Amino acid sequence: MASISNEPEREHRDEEESGANEDEDTGAQVAPIIKLEEVAVTTGEENEDAILDLKSKLYRFDKDGSQWKERGAGTVKFLKHKESGKIRLVMRQSKTLKICANHLVTSGMSVQEHAGNDKSCVWHARDFSDGELKDELFCIRFASVENCKAFMQKFKEVADSEEEKEESKEASDTAGLLEKLTVEEKDTEEKKEEKPVEKVASAEAEKAVEEKKTDESVPSA
């Protein structure tokens, strides 16, 4: 009976000795069989700053089936380009990082709450997520009403800002055109004013020539 009760203690001692041997540093260094090199992964977002970043689930309306189809769950962002200042909406699936939505937010675009759900909203866009421009009707759903409101507010701010930029550019172009027309009209008027002076000078020269001829033709006394 004693030998049976001592057996687990013996196994425990053997494990300790084995563990001690494994922990010993032999000083040997084993070189890796395959050397892996670091690869830079680009997302296309390196020259942009995120001005909004929210977890959500995106749907698109299938016209053929007349129903909503899920595009994916992940993070939706508003990205502002560092140089051009243009802002686009981008959403990627959380695990695969596949693009679900990718389009510019431009003037004239609008977003509104989805009927019967204050955590969702809808909008139309010219989307490029599939590699070609398509007219899409999107619906996005958030975990909270607050996130949905924040998304809608930022969407409207960007669209309004783009509209103001277009109006400012149009006003600037109009002012430039009017200024150009004013300069051209001024040049035309100056040219018109110069012509009578030339005619008067020419008439005076002709009169002088005629008087000279008359003087020469009169015999001296």
pLDDT recorded at residue 12: 47
pLDDT recorded at residue 65: 93
Farthest CA pair distance, the chain? 177
Residue 171 token pair: 């006003």
Phi, psi values for residue 166, rounded to 5°? -65, -40
Domains for the chain: give ranges and CATH numbers: 48-173 (2.30.29.30)
Phi, psi values for residue 88, rounded to 5°? -125, 160
pLDDT recorded at residue 3: 43
Per-residue pLDDT of the chain (221 residues; tens, 9 = 90+): 444 444 444 444 554 555 545 555 566 666 667 777 776 667 788 999 999 999 999 999 999 999 999 999 999 999 999 999 999 999 999 999 999 999 999 999 999 999 989 999 999 999 999 999 999 999 999 999 999 999 999 999 999 999 888 887 777 777 777 777 777 666 666 666 655 545 555 666 676 667 666 555 545 54
pLDDT recorded at residue 7: 45
